[in-house]
C-alpha cells in the first residue's frame, strides 16, 4: 500500500518509522510519503494561512497551496484524497477495513481553523476521528493510518493477530494473561492452562461477549448473536 500525507508539520509523522509500521516500511509492504504543503505556497515567505473573509477568530489555510500540493501528488498517485475534518463520518473499524483494500491513499491534514472551502473540490472523502476538537488533522491522521496499515497483508505476523482484536468483529477483546502463572495471589484462569483449544476458543468468545455487554452495551446490541453465542450466555 502507498500512502501520501499532506501536512504543514512533517516531523509529526516520524512515529511511522517505529514499531510495526516501521518494520512494514522497511520490508516494502507499506510506503508512507510525507509532503509539506508549505513547499507549494507561492508566497515569498511560504505563508499558507490568512484571515477569513467576513471576520472571525483564527486563521484559515489558503486554497492555493493545498490544491497545488494535491495536484502534484496526484501525478504519481491515483489514490482518493481523504480529508481529516469534522464533516466526515466517524472513523471506525469498518472504515479501516474498507480503506485497507485500497492500493493508494492520500491524506490531507487541515490545521488552524480549517481550509478554504474552494480546496474541497479536490477532496474525495472526509473522515472525523470523533466529536471533539484537535489542534490539527495530524493528530487524527496518525491513529487512522495505523489502524489501516495493521490490516494490510503482511504487516502483522498473521491474520489472527488482528481478527481477535477489539472491534474487528464488533466485540471487545477477551481478557488475556501472560507469565507468571500467579501474580499477587491472582491465578491465570485454569482453562487457559488446559491445552484444550476448543474449550479455550469458547471461553474467549464468551468473555468477549461478557466484556462488550458490560463496558460497551451500545456495541453489544449490534452484534448478531449466533446459536452458539446464545448457548454460551445461557450457560453462564
pLDDT tens string 146-200: 999 999 999 997 655 555 555 567 899 999 999 999 999 999 999 999 999 999 9
Q: What is the pLDDT of residue 163?
A: 58
User: What is the domain-level CATH number for residue 107?
Assistant: 3.40.1280.10
> Which of these three, 149, 176, 210, is where a domain ends?
149
The pLDDT > 90 percentage for the chain reads 89
Please give the model's pTM, rounded to 2 decimal places: 0.85
> Given a cut of 60, is residue 230 above it in pLDDT?
yes
Q: Which DSSP letter does residue 111 get? A: B
> Which of these three, 94, 124, 149, is where a domain ends?
149
| 119, 81 contact by CB (below 8 A) | no
Q: Name the domain count of the chain.
A: 2
> Is residue 58 located within the same domain as residue 127?
yes
> Is residue 131 located within the same domain as residue 170?
no
> Is residue 88 located within the same domain as residue 7?
yes
Domain of residue 171 covers 164-235
| Cell numbers at 59, concatenated | 486563521
Known binding residues for S-adenosyl-L-methionine are 110, 129-134
Which residue carries 489501516 as its cell?
Answer: 148
> Is residue 22 located within the same domain as residue 112?
yes
> Which of these three, 149, 181, 203, is where a domain ends?
149
> Is residue 8 located within the same domain as residue 99?
yes
> Is residue 175 located within the same domain as residue 117?
no
Known binding residues are 110, 129-134
Hey, is 152 helix, strand or coil? coil
Segment 22-52, tens digit of pLDDT: 999 999 999 999 999 999 999 999 999 999 9
- Residues 4-19 have a mean pLDDT of 97
Q: Identify any residues that bridge with 125 across adjacent strands, giving them in sequence order.
A: 82
Q: What is the pLDDT of residue 70?
A: 98
E strands of 21-147, at which residues? Answer: 31-36, 49-50, 60-61, 80-90, 104-109, 125-128
Long-range pairs for 74-80: beta carbons < 8 A, 24 or more residues apart? 74/106, 77/2, 77/4, 77/104, 77/106, 78/104, 79/2, 79/3, 79/4, 79/103, 79/104, 79/105, 79/106, 80/105, 80/106, 80/124, 80/125
Amino acid at each position: 500500500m502507498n500512502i501520501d500525507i499532506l501536512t504543514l508539520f512533517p516531523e509529526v509523522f516520524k512515529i511511522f518509522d517505529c514499531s510495526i509500521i516501521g518494520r512494514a516500511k522497511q520490508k516494502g509492504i507499506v510506503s508512507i510519503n510525507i509532503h509539506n504543503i508549505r513547499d507549494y505556497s507561492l508566497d515569498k515567505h511560504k505563508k499558507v494561512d490568512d484571515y477569513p473573509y467576513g471576520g472571525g477568530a483564527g486563521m484559515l489555510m489558503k486554497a492555493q497551496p493545498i490544491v497545488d500540493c494535491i495536484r502534484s501528488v496526484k501525478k504519481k498517485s491515483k489514490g482518493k484524497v481523504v480529508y481529516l475534518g469534522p464533516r466526515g463520518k466517524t472513523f471506525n473499524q469498518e472504515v479501516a477495513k474498507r480503506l485497507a483494500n485500497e492500493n493508494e491513499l492520500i491524506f490531507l491534514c487541515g490545521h488552524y481553523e480549517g481550509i478554504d472551502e474552494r480546496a474541497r473540490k479536490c477532496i474525495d472523502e472526509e473522515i472525523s476521528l470523533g466529536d471533539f476538537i484537535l489542534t490539527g488533522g495530524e493528530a487524527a491522521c496518525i491513529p487512522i493510518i495505523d489502524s489501516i496499515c495493521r490490516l494490510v497483508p503482511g504487516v502483522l505476523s498473521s491474520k489472527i493477530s488482528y481478527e481477535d482484536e477489539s472491534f474487528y468483529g464488533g466485540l471487545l477483546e477477551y481478557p488475556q494473561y501472560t507469565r507468571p502463572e500467579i501474580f499477587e495471589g491472582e491465578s491465570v484462569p485454569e482453562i487457559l492452562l488446559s491445552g484444550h483449544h476448543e474449550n479455550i476458543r469458547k471461553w474467549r468468545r464468551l468473555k468477549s461477549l461478557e466484556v462488550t455487554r458490560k463496558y460497551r452495551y451500545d456495541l453489544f446490541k449490534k452484534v448478531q448473536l449466533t446459536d452458539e453465542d446464545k448457548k454460551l450466555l445461557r450457560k453462564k
